[in-house]
Amino acid sequence: MNDLDDIETLFRRNYTAMHRLAAMFLHDNALASDVVQDVFHTLLSGTPSSATTTAYLLSCVKNRCLNRLRDMDTRDRIRRLIALDAEPDTDDMPDEERIEAINKTIATDLPPQCRRVVELRFRDGLQYKEIAEELGISETAVYKHLRKGIETLRNKMTENG
């Protein structure tokens, strides 16, 4: 069993990267936190800390995320905007360059309110009603912003390949 102090060092050093990867797979902050917790729980009884590298921890996160995705049904996936393929594939994960390009498009090509709506729906997984309350607009307006956001992004992304 590992010393809790060693685990704490690993935890603090790697938490951000692990949580980020899990959130990218699961599109859900709370679930991502749980995955990271689970990975560290397995360390309690497993591998010695000295052999535990960031790469190893990230691959544990990845495997656990893939398991979670495998267990998610179609409705859950479409609600969280996750690819519907029965066997989730890591190749689906866009590379860092692509991610940066998409975030840049969202930040620069969408009008501010539209961008906020897209973020609240796509990143924070809020429902229309919650977004409407958060921004003090109607649900119809939320819907229109999303529609516009998707159309703009689609045009931009086809332009840029």
Partner 1 sequence: MDKTDLLLAASEHPESLSPEDIKRLLSDPETAEIYRMMTVCATALNGQSQTTGEQIDREWERFRQTATARRRPSFFRRSAAATITAAISLAAVAGIAVITTRHFRHSDTAAPATEVQVQTASTQSAQSPVIEEPSEKAGSLTAENKSVVFEDETLRTILDRIARHYGTEIVYRSTETGDLRLYFRWDTSARLEETVEALNNFEKINLSLDNNKITVL
Give me 19's structure tokens: 């949580």
Residue 3 φ/ψ region, left for φ over 0, alpha for ψ in the -120 to 50 degree band, beta for the rest:
beta
Contact pick of 62, 64, 146, 152 for partner 1 (by CB under 8 A) = 146
Question: Is residue 69 part of the contact set for partner 1 (CB under 8 A)?
Answer: no
Q: Provide the token pair at 84.
A: 């519907």
Instruction: Give the angle 135-136-142 at the CA atoms, nearest 5°.
Output: 65
Tokens found for residue 27? 């599109």
**Member of 24, 58, 137, 141 binding partner 1 (CB under 8 A):** 24
The nearer residue to partner 1, 47 or 98, going by C-beta atoms, is 98
Structure tokens at 5: 């102090």
Contact positions vs partner 1 (CB under 8 A): 1, 4, 7-8, 11-12, 15-16, 19-20, 23-25, 27, 29-31, 33-34, 36-37, 40-41, 44, 71-76, 78-84, 92-94, 98-99, 102-103, 106, 118-119, 122-123, 125, 127-130, 143, 146-147, 150-151, 153-154, 157
